[in-house]
Chains A and B, each alone.
Chain A
Amino acid sequence: MVLITLVSSDEQNFPVERELLKQSGTIETLIVNMNLDDEDTDAAAMPIPLPNVKGDVLEKVIQWMEHHKGDPVKEGDNEDNNAEIVVPQWDDDFFKPAMYGSKHLELTVAASYLDIKNLLTLSCKAISNTFKGKTGPQIREEWGVPNEFTPEEEEAIRKENEWSE
Chain B
Amino acid sequence: MDILALPDVILRKVMRCVRIKDRLKLRLTCRAFGKLVAETNAGCFERGGVTRAPKRYYPYREDDVSLCLQLGDQRVKHIDLSEEGLEQFLHVRNRLFTGISFEIFEFDLDDDTFDLEFIRKLIDHFRIDKLRFQLGSEEQLEKAKQLMKDYPGNECTIYLWFLPETQRLFAIPPIRYLKITAADAILFKLLSSHNSLTFGVQMTELTLMELKSALEALSADDRKRRVKIQVKRSAMVKLLRDCGITDDSKEGDVRGGFEVMTVLKVHNLIHLRYKRCLIEITFLDWKEGTRSVDVDIANCDEW
Contacts from A to B (Cβ < 8 Å)? 79-85, 102, 105-106, 108-109, 112, 120-121, 124-125, 127-129, 131-137, 139-140, 143-149, 154, 157-158, 160-161, 163-165
Contacts and interface: CB of A to CB of B under 8 A. Distances in A.
A145 B28 contact: no
A154 B34 CA distance: 11
Nearest to A144: B2
A163 B92 contact: yes
B3 A146 contact: no
A108 B95 CA distance: 26
- Listed from nearest, the 9 A-B pairs whose CB atoms lie closest are A136-B28, A128-B17, A102-B1, A82-B43, A131-B22, A165-B75, A82-B17, A82-B16, A124-B14
Contact of B15 (A128, A147, A154): A128
Given A109-B7, A164-B76, A157 B34 contact: yes
Given A147-B30, A163-B89, A164-B76, A128 B46 contact: no
30 contacts: A81-B46, A82-B16, A82-B43, A102-B2, A105-B3, A105-B5, A106-B1, A112-B9, A112-B10, A124-B10, A124-B16, A127-B17, A132-B22, A134-B25, A136-B27, A136-B28, A143-B3, A145-B2, A145-B30, A148-B31, A154-B28, A160-B27, A160-B91, A160-B92, A161-B24, A161-B27, A163-B76, A163-B77, A164-B21, A165-B74
A11 B15 CA distance: 34
Contact of B17 (A83, A143, A147): A83
